[in-house]
Chain A
């Protein structure tokens, strides 16, 4: 075990001045099928331990796997959406290893015959020269199964080192996974971290659009491993790479790639060499630490799975699935940008925040695009960031945001009160109307109480009142502020100002 938590890093500017990064990204996505890949056990998240298991996914003697048709269909659709070729014939393979997360002592996967191969995904990244499109080559997308969940007991940290024993829940074992592997990503230079994040963001958007997965990174239904290597110049051969695992948010992908670049650069600048190894990402400290040295592919002793027959998707089937694909995300982005009439930069901000779907849905629910963007990129992005979740996973729906915005436009709420309503909805207090009612948040629109508050404020600050009467309209702010305070923010500041000036017989 290694405790190299204080590894040296090089400042990022120095890294990109002296090195050329090459990335490789592996994304595992759990399919949203009703049942597992090779048996009829359900895939519900959060079920009691070892209640979604059967002889097949427990690897009991005499059981036989049968392939889930929807799993194969999803894999083909993902391949097509990534512009891949679909294999005319392919097989599953056994990936042999001894670790209790798979009761069979192997994982059923695909090895040299992936169902989809040789595609690409275009991603947009904001650069110093404006938004630039990077084409990310897709090496392959293959089918496999997820592993069980191991919890380490005893020891101080809950991690395996120092653990006395482990407990295993096989509910997740056998859930269909698609592993999507990029070709080496070159030519990104200093934008490597942003490109990595943009790729996973775009991939997640594509997968969500296909409806094949709920793509929830914090629940592990979308997971990313980042391979990073450095070389002195783009004409050099690839440097030794490390594979950082456990990178489970979009922000972490960017941070992990950046950290690993700065760490490797420091090693290389000191004349050292990079160890090819697995590294673990630590969200809290923002660093990676050394894991086990990577086993070589031959150590897994892959061989074709004898319990399953080959898959040979007919071209008719593939074409039928192609017609079921939704609008291409790039086309959709361009269309929405045009409909909303916003700049490249504003669009990029929406995309970077992973807010495209929620903003689109909020607009569809009746909100103005500017208001929809304001809420999701402002207040809600802040809350999501605090809670470490994605926007779509906040306990507020686009329809509810549109509902709050409707209350603002009809004058029931001002901005400050609207934020309190959002807060109430997030806290589970119900629909926006219910929060307004239960918290008593409607803007005070009856002039009576406002005039009373204005008179009180004028009486308390006679000097200010005189100034305003004398024509110093800018002094009105002090009185408006006092009235807003007295009404606990529930007044419309514009209305208070108008009433105040009317009261004092002055005009703007």
Chain B
């Protein structure tokens, strides 16, 4: 078993803030442990991959898949907004975001 990368309570709190998830403080240790296990599993895979196996970001060995710069039909405003929980003035209505701009 490789060294399990450690995740601290503080790491979890920071990630929760970035993800805008309101985690109760008493759950931080719980998630730290779970995330540690996940990272440990990834570390095991990383150990199997030898130096000569490059990291991959796409399953297909393709490059340069392009599209011509030609306009295609869009959704109508009604279609675009049809799944929105809240709509106003032809726009998506979203809650105010605190402490950000």
Q: How far is the CA of A35 from the CA of B69 in the complex (A)?
A: 6
Task: Write the A219-254 contact mask toward B (1 if CB under 8 angstroms, else 0).
Answer: 000000000000000000000000000000000000
Q: Which A residues between 82 and 111 are near B, CB-CB below 8 angstroms? A: 89, 91, 96-100
A72 / chain B contacts, CB cutoff of 8 Å: 66
Q: Which B residues between 51 and 101 are near A, CB-CB below 8 angstroms? A: 57-58, 60, 62-77, 80-81, 83, 88-97, 99-101
Which one of A50, A98, A295 contacts B20 once the chains associate, using CB atoms below 8 Å? A98
CB distance from A285 to the nearest CB of B (A): 17
A170 interfacial contact with B, CB 8 Å? yes
Could you list some 26 contacts between A and B, CB below 8 A? A1-B99, A34-B69, A34-B70, A40-B72, A40-B73, A42-B74, A50-B77, A50-B90, A54-B74, A54-B75, A68-B69, A96-B18, A98-B18, A99-B97, A99-B100, A100-B92, A164-B96, A165-B95, A167-B88, A167-B91, A167-B92, A168-B94, A169-B91, A170-B92, A292-B99, A313-B64
Which one of A50, A164, A295 contacts B92 once the chains associate, using CB atoms below 8 Å? A50
- By Cβ-Cβ distance, the 3 closest A-B pairs, closest first, are A40-B72, A304-B57, A167-B91
B45 interfacial contact with A, CB 8 Å? no
Beta-carbon contact of A40 and B67 below 8 Å: yes
B50 / chain A contacts, CB cutoff of 8 Å: none
A164 / chain B contacts, CB cutoff of 8 Å: 96
Beyond the given pairs A50-B90, A167-B93, 15 more chain A to chain B contacts, judged by CB atoms under 8 angstroms and listed by A's residue number, are A1-B99, A34-B69, A53-B74, A66-B66, A67-B65, A99-B97, A100-B97, A164-B96, A166-B97, A167-B91, A168-B93, A280-B101, A304-B58, A309-B64, A310-B58
Beta-carbon contact of A168 and B91 below 8 Å: yes
Q: How far is the CA of A177 from the CA of B18 in the complex (A)?
A: 25
A305 / chain B contacts, CB cutoff of 8 Å: 57
Q: How far is the CA of A41 from the CA of B74 in the complex (A)?
A: 6
Beta-carbon contact of A292 and B100 below 8 Å: yes
Beta-carbon contact of A55 and B75 below 8 Å: yes
B19 / chain A contacts, CB cutoff of 8 Å: 98
Interface size on A, residues (CB 8 A): 63
Beta-carbon contact of A165 and B96 below 8 Å: yes
> Residue on A with the closest CB to B91?
A167
Beta-carbon contact of A151 and B74 below 8 Å: no
Report which residue of A1, A60, A68, A166 has the largest number of chain B beta carbons within 10 angstroms of its beta carbon. Answer: A166
Beta-carbon contact of B68 and A69 below 8 Å: yes
B94 / chain A contacts, CB cutoff of 8 Å: 100, 165-168
Beta-carbon contact of A39 and B66 below 8 Å: no
> Residue on A with the closest CB to B60?
A309
> Residue on B with the closest CB to A103?
B92
Beta-carbon contact of B100 and A165 below 8 Å: no
Q: Which A residues between 261 and 301 are near B, CB-CB below 8 angstroms? A: 280, 291-292, 295, 299, 301
B20 / chain A contacts, CB cutoff of 8 Å: 98
Q: How far is the CA of A264 from the CA of B61 in the complex (A)?
A: 50
> Residue on B with the closest CB to A312?
B63
Beta-carbon contact of A67 and B66 below 8 Å: yes
Beta-carbon contact of A291 and B101 below 8 Å: yes
CB distance from B12 to the nearest CB of A (A): 14
CB distance from A140 to the nearest CB of B (A): 19
CB distance from A172 to the nearest CB of B (A): 12
Beta-carbon contact of B77 and A49 below 8 Å: yes
Which one of B72, B95, B101 contacts A39 once the chains associate, using CB atoms below 8 Å? B72
CB distance from A93 to the nearest CB of B (A): 9
Q: How far is the CA of A20 from the CA of B24 in the complex (A)?
A: 47
Q: How far is the CA of A159 from the CA of B97 in the complex (A)?
A: 11
Q: How far is the CA of A71 from the CA of B60 in the complex (A)?
A: 23
CB distance from A154 to the nearest CB of B (A): 8
Which one of B18, B60, B67, B76 contacts A66 once the chains associate, using CB atoms below 8 Å? B67
CB distance from B35 to the nearest CB of A (A): 13
Beta-carbon contact of B69 and A33 below 8 Å: yes
> Residue on B with the closest CB to A280?
B101
Knowing A167-B88, A167-B93, the reply to whether A311 touches B67 (Cβ < 8 A) is no
> Residue on B with the closest CB to A164?
B96
Which one of B71, B73, B89 contacts A167 once the chains associate, using CB atoms below 8 Å? B89
Q: Which B residues between 1 and 48 are near A, CB-CB below 8 angstroms? A: 18-20
> Residue on A with the closest CB to B61?
A309
Q: How far is the CA of A48 from the CA of B75 in the complex (A)?
A: 13
Q: How far is the CA of A129 from the CA of B72 in the complex (A)?
A: 56
A160 / chain B contacts, CB cutoff of 8 Å: 96-97, 100-101
Q: How far is the CA of A42 from the CA of B71 in the complex (A)?
A: 6
> Residue on A with the closest CB to B101?
A160
CB distance from B29 to the nearest CB of A (A): 22
